[in-house]
Structure 1
Amino acid sequence: MSVAVTKSSPVVVVGASQTPTGGIIGLSTFDMFSASAPTTLILVFEQPIDDPVGTIKKALSQALVHYHPMAGRLAGADELEPTHIVCTGEGVSFVGASASCALDDAVPLHLVDLSVRYPAKYCRLDDPLLLMQVTRFTCGGFVVGVTWNHIMADGAGMAQFLQALGELARGMPVPSVAPVRSEADSSLPRLPQPMVAEVRSYMRVRKEELLPLLDLAIPTSLVHCIKAKCGAGNCTMYDAIIAVLWRCRTRAVIPDGDENPNALMLLVIPRNVRELVGAKKGYYGNCVIFQLALATRDTVATCDIKDLVKLIRIAKEKMPGILGNTRDGRDEQHAPPERYNTLTISSLMNLGHEAVDFGSGTPSRIMWKNEQPSGMACVVCPPCKGKDTINVMSLCVRLEHSDAFLREVAALTLELSHDC
């Protein structure tokens, strides 16, 4: 059914008590990957709490005392080249909202207006670093939509912040994990400048057409089948899902009458490397590197699925070694593939979002939602409660390829089900 969402006027939430101002936090080379790109997460809570809008707004004010850089603003040359965060204490934007129906009636939920958007494609220097919306539904359930400038935090960092927000909403006096954001205190290494420059160049290619947001449900039975075909210890859940998405998208976008089976398909795999680089506990800035898997269109579309998983795992195993290299692992002899032949697949699983609790339990569903994609991307979300599927939010195919993409996922599920 159609859902009407009534929003209050945005308000600025600042720290509940005096917080440090005037400090400057330099951006790390990890932060520089993000290019002031906005990103949005939607957390769905089926069980009610008392006054979710007021409770979470109060907790947000308390959280900004501990996470005071989030109440600051970026500074530097311009939106594309910010160099530091100034702890101005200006605050973040907050909107309370109410929906006209129960959560179960809001189908598809990912199309409902559950978050606040930045006014421009990039986050501007004077924009808040965090926007939040809390939406109440008639059933008592509620949804928290958080949109932030990715330069401030990556997915793991935002999960830490949201867990702290939940702890404060439940009455804890301070977060259980002390936050760390200063580059000087984070113990992070500096990434090779050529690597940073190459990724930022990739991020700046912004003449993208609008892509449909697809909500894919991949059966866990398909994942278990692929893991069984690969053998014990040779395939994780994430590996299997990557193989499904890369295979099915490649098949879906092959042009009619295509005569170039050797066209290159590039897979970009982000990875949280906090433990690998020795980041201090509580660090919530960016700490992600990227590794590439490169194969021909024919290989991705037709090779045995266990061989595709092997190719993906080889690429992932290269990650620890690239921190000292000047390139990101791409074979020097190849020119960059076409933009539409590049796919990024990231994961929100096991980062901590599924543990966020504002007082009535953890979320029943977590979704990624970006209005302005910077490239073809799929985000693997934590499994929904009570569902035997793994949800993937996808902005990775043009409208004319979306039905074919969904058909390929269904066909692969049927094909492999006969083998398991």
Structure 2
Amino acid sequence: MAVVLISKSPSVLVKPSSDPATSAAITDYLSLIGLTSYDEPNVGRPVTAFLVFDRPIDDPAETIRQGLSLALVPYYPISGRLATAFLACDVLTAIDCTGDGAGVPFVAASADAALRDVDLRGHLEELAVFYPAAGDPLLRPLLMVQVTVFSCGGFVIGVTWDHSIADGAGMGQFLRAIGELARGMPSPAVVPCRHDLSLAGMPSAFVRVNRLVNSLQPSLLTLLHLAVPYSLVSRIRQQFAAAVNGGHPCTAFEAVAAVLWRCRTRAVMSESDPSAPALLGFVADTRTHAGARDGYYGNCCYIMPPVGATSGAVAGGDVVDLIWMIRRAKERIPDYYNSSMDEEDEDGRRLQELADAGLLGYGNMLGVSCWRNLGMDKVDFGGGTPARVMGYMKEGMGRLPCCVCLPCEDGGDSFSVTSLCVKEEHAGAFLRELASLA
């Protein structure tokens, strides 16, 4: 692979192309938008995604900059800043849409090599703008964008955002809107909604799960880029369908999650005895269950109360059986919104008991999220959809060992997974377990 030099131009601040307050596209303009119970826990949490386009368009940086400026009219909160708000005796965090310095920092960059000659995984830190390691979230932009054009004409757009403004599905919706407006559409195909008073509050079980995850002691984890073969996933899906007497196959995500759960549990078994818990937490989009309005792009994707089993049962179990556990957990999502508070929080209390007993940590928990249905692979700035979507995970300390399933690559023969879920001493065993299933 070629050594690549990436040159960046000075950052410019992109603002809405017209005043959102007077735009005909805005019917419910608000200068101060309160965060929901789903948004609040994500304040100051950065997320970075990369969309790789191998087909040239005319002046990618300027095309995307103009599309961004147009999209920031209907999506005006994204150009705002977080601020402290006061409601009666409560101190809240809100999005200030009128403050000085509002806008999205935008960087145009160029690379002196062709995309096909570069291993992008070794250059991700040069392909986006990142927040400083320390700093007040109230003083920084909610979104930053970099467009890097390669010598072949292909380009990479790197987007970094504060998770409080949007979850992955919401950011995918916004990026598609930039593409639509950059291609000349008069308005986005989806009318955006950020202020939604009808949104149901976050179930207490979700609150407890995410609080406990944030309280875990960090572990030094190794970054791995994994490939789960299509052939393996297809075989597992067929086995699952056969096990339910000719029923529908499981989803690809359920198959991949079960594989990762079993392989990781086997790799770290030395850290725990077979009777110790092995928990799988997965991120679910609960928009439908929370009653979110169409076009809502705030947060509604959260870690569910984890699927629970013993380490021995997961390590020695059949993958089909693990899929059934995951499937049953997914089917329970509506219950968290329909049951009484006491029934709703039973899973949360059970998890708290494990935490109090010192049974939550590196050897016992795995989180899995999926970017395959976020819509980022549908973004089109004029030359077609991305050949690849990548996430950013920095090797080092992590609280929840996790894996992210990424959209499929064009022409690939496997599902791409970015993993920060094992320590270095367990990485070899984890990779061998994956290889043994292929």
The normalised TM-score by structure 1 is 0.90
| Alignment match, 1:221 | 231
Are the aligned partners of 1:268 and 1:342 in contact in 2 as well (CA < 8 Å)?
yes
Amino acid at match of 1:54: E
Are the aligned partners of 2:265 and 2:311 in contact in 1 as well (CA < 8 Å)?
yes
User: In the superposition, relative to structure 1, how do residues 308 and 210 fare at CA in structure 2: closer, same or farther (>3 Å)?
Assistant: same
Give the deviation of 1:105 after TM superposition.
1.0
Once residues 367 and 132 of structure 1 are traced to their aligned partners in structure 2, the CA distance between those partners, rounded to angstroms, is 15
Once residues 238 and 412 of structure 1 are traced to their aligned partners in structure 2, the CA distance between those partners, rounded to angstroms, is 16
Q: Deviations over 1:106-141 (max 9, x none)?
A: 125364321111112577111100011111111110
| Alignment match, 2:10 | 9
| Alignment match, 1:91 | 103
Once residues 398 and 51 of structure 2 are traced to their aligned partners in structure 1, the CA distance between those partners, rounded to angstroms, is 20
| Alignment match, 1:40 | 48
Q: Deviations over 1:385-420 (max 9, x none)?
A: 11121111111112222222222111121xxxxxxx
2:267 aligned to 249, 252, 277, which one? 252
| Alignment match, 1:241 | 256
2:38 aligned to 5, 19, 30, which one? 30
Are the aligned partners of 1:181 and 1:283 in contact in 2 as well (CA < 8 Å)?
yes
| Alignment match, 1:120 | 133
Are the aligned partners of 1:38 and 1:122 in contact in 2 as well (CA < 8 Å)?
no
Aligned CA-pair RMSD:
2.2
Aligned residue pair count: 405
| Alignment match, 1:417 | none
User: In the superposition, relative to structure 1, how do residues 226 and 82 fare at CA in structure 2: closer, same or farther (>3 Å)?
Assistant: farther
Q: Does residue 1:135 correspond to 2:148, yes or no? A: yes
Give the deviation of 1:201 after TM superposition.
4.5
User: In the superposition, relative to structure 1, how do residues 86 and 286 fare at CA in structure 2: closer, same or farther (>3 Å)?
Assistant: same
Q: Does residue 1:327 correspond to 2:345, yes or no? A: yes
Structure 1 segments unaligned to the other structure (5+ residues): 414-420
Once residues 392 and 121 of structure 1 are traced to their aligned partners in structure 2, the CA distance between those partners, rounded to angstroms, is 28
Once residues 262 and 135 of structure 2 are traced to their aligned partners in structure 1, the CA distance between those partners, rounded to angstroms, is 31
User: In the superposition, relative to structure 1, how do residues 197 and 309 fare at CA in structure 2: closer, same or farther (>3 Å)?
Assistant: closer
Give the secondary structure class of the aligned counterpart of 2:57.
Answer: coil
Give the secondary structure class of the aligned counterpart of 2:295.
Answer: coil
Amino acid at match of 2:201: R
Give the deviation of 1:191 after TM superposition.
2.1
Q: Deviations over 1:232-263 (max 9, x none)?
A: 325211110000111111112222xx671111
Amino acid at match of 2:103: G
2:222 aligned to 212, 215, 219, which one? 212
Amino acid at match of 1:11: V
1:386 aligned to 401, 408, 411, which one? 411
Are the aligned partners of 2:166 and 2:299 in contact in 1 as well (CA < 8 Å)?
yes
Are the aligned partners of 2:129 and 2:144 in contact in 1 as well (CA < 8 Å)?
yes
| Alignment match, 1:339 | 361
User: In the superposition, relative to structure 1, how do residues 409 and 358 fare at CA in structure 2: closer, same or farther (>3 Å)?
Assistant: same
Give the secondary structure class of the aligned counterpart of 1:346.
Answer: strand
| Alignment match, 1:418 | none
Q: Does residue 1:370 correspond to 2:370, yes or no? A: no
| Alignment match, 2:88 | none
2:210 aligned to 190, 194, 199, which one? 199
Once residues 140 and 210 of structure 1 are traced to their aligned partners in structure 2, the CA distance between those partners, rounded to angstroms, is 38
| Same amino acid, percent of matched pairs | 46
Are the aligned partners of 2:196 and 2:293 in contact in 1 as well (CA < 8 Å)?
no
Give the deviation of 1:49 after TM superposition.
0.6
Q: Does residue 1:56 correspond to 2:82, yes or no? A: no
Are the aligned partners of 1:15 and 1:61 in contact in 2 as well (CA < 8 Å)?
yes
Once residues 56 and 373 of structure 1 are traced to their aligned partners in structure 2, the CA distance between those partners, rounded to angstroms, is 33
Once residues 237 and 87 of structure 1 are traced to their aligned partners in structure 2, the CA distance between those partners, rounded to angstroms, is 40
User: In the superposition, relative to structure 1, how do residues 6 and 36 fare at CA in structure 2: closer, same or farther (>3 Å)?
Assistant: same
Moved more, 370-379 or 168-177: 370-379
Give the deviation of 1:87 after TM superposition.
0.9
Give the secondary structure class of the aligned counterpart of 1:387.
Answer: coil
| Alignment match, 2:24 | none
| Alignment match, 2:26 | none
Moved more, 187-196 or 2-11: 187-196
Once residues 346 and 38 of structure 2 are traced to their aligned partners in structure 1, the CA distance between those partners, rounded to angstroms, is 13
Q: How does 1:58-207 map to 2 (within 5 A)?
A: 58-76=66-84, 83-88=93-98, 90-109=102-121, 111-112=123-124, 113-120=126-133, 124-184=137-197, 187-193=198-204, 195-205=206-216
Q: Deviations over 1:268-306 (max 9, x none)?
A: 111112223321111000112423101111111111111
Are the aligned partners of 1:269 and 1:316 in contact in 2 as well (CA < 8 Å)?
no
Give the secondary structure class of the aligned counterpart of 2:61.
Answer: helix
Once residues 398 and 88 of structure 1 are traced to their aligned partners in structure 2, the CA distance between those partners, rounded to angstroms, is 45
Q: Deviations over 1:10-38 (max 9, x none)?
A: 22111111234871111111213424311
Structure 2 segments unaligned to the other structure (5+ residues): 22-28, 86-90, 242-246
Q: Deviations over 1:197-236 (max 9, x none)?
A: 552343254x634533221111111001111111132521
Give the secondary structure class of the aligned counterpart of 2:139.
Answer: coil
Give the deviation of 1:351 after TM superposition.
2.1
Once residues 384 and 136 of structure 2 are traced to their aligned partners in structure 1, the CA distance between those partners, rounded to angstroms, is 32
Give the secondary structure class of the aligned counterpart of 2:49.
Answer: strand
User: In the superposition, relative to structure 1, how do residues 403 and 82 fare at CA in structure 2: closer, same or farther (>3 Å)?
Assistant: farther
Give the secondary structure class of the aligned counterpart of 1:118.
Answer: coil
